[in-house]
Amino acid sequence: MTQAIPERRAMRRFDMRLPAAVRMASNDGAEIATETDNVSARGVYFRLQRPLQLGERLAVTLTFPPHVTLTEKVRVRFDARVIRVEPQRVFGGPVGIAAAIEAYEFLRDYPVEELQESTTPDRNSQ
């Protein structure tokens, strides 16, 4: 008989496949493209082709689509720390990375036209 493992998560996880860019301090700032398996208010889980070290610091940028935000798409950069590395499920496959979110920043991409409009004085107001 298998004994159930008690749930230790404090926050609900949402199964979301979101595009993600992972940047590690140990990787000269190069970004690795992946996607999330799940996201919570305190953490993110994704897979990479190589394992990371426990405690390693990361920047993970996610794009939340309009159907999640109920407005427009939103990009968020998380400062995170690796708290668990799971082995490959299949030989040569990716490893699972669980990272705890320590800080976050909402990113906004300004289209060139919008930047020009906001920096051009309004001629009618003179």
87-123 confidence digits (pLDDT tens): 887 888 899 999 999 999 999 765 444 434 433 344 4
pLDDT tens column, 71-85: 999 999 999 999 999
Confidence band, pLDDT 50/70/90 cuts, at residue 11: low
pTM listed for this prediction: 0.75
- Domain 14-111: which topology? Thrombin, subunit H (2.40.10)
Which tens digits make up the pLDDT trace of 12-61? 888 999 999 999 877 777 899 999 999 999 999 999 998 899 999 999 99
Per domain, the residue ranges of the chain are 14-111
What is the rounded distance in angstroms from the CA atom of residue 103 to the CA atom of residue 114? 28
- Contact at 8 Å (CB) between 80 and 57? yes
